[in-house]
Amino acid sequence: MYDSVIDVLVVGAGPYGLSVGAYAHHAGLRVRVIGTPMDFWRNHMPAGMYLKSEPFASSLGSPVAGLTFTEYNGGWPEGLPIPLHTFVSYGQWFAEQAVPEPEPSQVLRVEGDPGRVYTVTLSTGEEVRARAVVMAVGVGPFAHVPRRLASLPTALVTHSVVHREFDRFAGKEVVVVGAGQSALETAVLLADCGARPVVLARTPQLAWNSLPGRTGSLLQALLRGPQSGLGRGWRTWLWSERPQTVRYLPARTRRNIVKNTLGPAGAWWLRDRLDSRVGRMLGRHVVDAAPHGDRVRLIVEDRRGDRTEVRADHVIAATGYVPDVDRISALPPELRRRLRRTHTSPALDAHFQSSLPGLYFAGLTAAATFGPVMRFVHGADFAARRIVGHLAETVGAGTARQDKPAAPHDATMVR
């Protein structure tokens, strides 16, 4: 008979949560993954979008062969953009193969005695006791709206994360704030739906990622550096493939790396679609925003200090995500106060464990410790391996193993 305490509970069933769940199950740990697989990607990403990452960098973390994105459903050619629905289907298939029955509920509260047992309250009313908890909450809680826009009513301003469809903006003037992939693709999708979008950004010129693949001579390829999950270049390869090195750098250096690696840019395949249907106001930023009847009035300023008034029906802030443990509602205030932090993120050890023993963080919340790869799917395998390797040595070692299911041996099916 099992005792009433499981080894690990995973909060979230996106790429990081599913990867941790797969590794934990394969290691023979008693694990429960709470969340509907790929729910955020399916319901909070715009229909019609494509992934920016290349196929080889779009795999969830698996402890066995046969479960990468490029092996799913007969494979996917490099250089062909991945539709959102294809990636969602891959994630759901991965969950079916590798993760023991993710539970479509929500975690309401995590509390207890760090280092001993956590009590986790689910939306079903059940209380689960676990020796370790992995917070893999994704990016949803951390949607960032700039201060000058945040004071507007939600009828006039929204973050890009809330939009799956854009049909309601047909015939409307919409200002999209930002210069990254989310902003540029949002503007294109708005235009496809008959809206009149304008991209408003601080940058004086939009940046575009180059077409992947090796070009030029061998010397040119060496100078450009290797291709990695985050792109091409020697430093990029280091942050992408050896994220453990980032942790040894000073906190300010780590913040600069996260901020400046892979800055705002559009995917190469989107460039031709950002055509004359999309207006551009570059080299400008918002200095004031206020309702004007049922519309919004913006005052924008250029680099010379000259100001212009802009009126629109709506503003979409495609302004990214800022991790902040105080925005994780499942962690009660008394628990959050005890967390050691790096700025607004949890400070983590080499195994993604926070200053509270048994409480781990994966994904965007780990970027302040392990660098920019934690902002992307490509970091999921490294995080899952590190977390579960530590759990197997600590939590797993202290549990009666004879009552646990044996780790599976099939190379492709690990349920």
Summarised one tens digit per residue, pLDDT across range 20-29 is: 999 999 999 9
Give the pLDDT mean for 225-251. 87
pLDDT at 229: 82
Say if residue 414's pLDDT is above 60. no
Backbone angles phi, psi at 210, to 5 degrees: -80, 160
CB atoms within 10 A of CB 109: 15
CB atoms within 10 A of CB 28: 17
pLDDT at 175: 98
Q: Tens digit of pLDDT for each residue in 294-304? A: 999 999 999 99
Q: Tens digit of pLDDT for each residue in 327-346? A: 999 999 999 999 999 999 99
- What pLDDT band is residue 384 in, cutting at 50, 70 and 90? very high
Say if residue 413's pLDDT is above 50. no
Give the pLDDT mean for 386-401. 81
Fill in the amino acid letter for 374: M
The set of long-range contacts for 291-295, using a CB threshold of 8 Å and a minimum separation of 24, is 291/152, 291/153, 291/156, 294/155, 295/156
pLDDT at 210: 81
- Tokens 């040894």 sit on residue: 248
Fill in the amino acid letter for 27: A
Lowest mean pLDDT among 101-105, 218-222, 238-242, 310-314: 218-222
Rg, the chain, Cα only: 22
Say if residue 408's pLDDT is above 50. no
Say if residue 54's pLDDT is above 80. yes
Model-level pTM?
A: 0.90
pLDDT at 261: 81
Q: Tens digit of pLDDT for each residue in 61-110? A: 999 999 999 999 888 988 889 999 999 999 999 999 999 899 999 999 99
- What pLDDT band is residue 115 in, cutting at 50, 70 and 90? confident
- What pLDDT band is residue 233 in, cutting at 50, 70 and 90? confident
Mean pLDDT of the chain: 90
Give the pLDDT mean for 261-280. 92
Fill in the amino acid letter for 328: I
Q: Tens digit of pLDDT for each residue in 27-47? A: 999 999 999 999 999 999 998
d(CA 385, CA 193): 42
Antiparallel, parallel or unpaired: β 359-361 and 127-135 = parallel
> Which residues share a beta bridge with 175?
198, 315
- What pLDDT band is residue 403 in, cutting at 50, 70 and 90? very low
pLDDT at 114: 77
Percent of the chain at pLDDT above 70? 91
Q: Are 212 and 267 in contact (CB under 8 A)?
A: no
Return the HEC string of the chain: CCCCEEEEEEECCCHHHHHHHHHHHHCCCCEEEECCCCHHHHHHCCCCCECCCCHHHCCCCCCCCCCCHHHHHHCCCCCCCCEHHHHHHHHHHHHHHHCCCCECCCEEEEEEECCCEEEEEECCCCEEEEEEEEECCCCHHHECCCHHHHCCCCCCEEEHHHCCCCHHHCCCEEEEECCCHHHHHHHHHHHHCCCEEEEEECCCCCCECCCCCCCCCHHHHHHHCCEECCEECHHHHHHHHCHHHHHHCCHHHHHHHHHHCCCCCECHHHHHHCCCCCEEEECEEEEEEEEECCEEEEEEEECCCCEEEEEECEEEECCCECCCHHHCCCCCHHHHHCCCEECCEECCCCCCECCCCCEEECHHHHHHHHCHHHHCHHHHHHHHHHHHHHHHHCCHHHCCHHHCCCCCCCCCCCC
Say if residue 405's pLDDT is above 60. no
pLDDT at 211: 76
d(CA 130, CA 407): 20
- Greater confidence, 92 or 215? 92
Say if residue 164's pLDDT is above 60. yes
pLDDT at 404: 42
pLDDT at 216: 60
CB atoms within 10 A of CB 18: 29
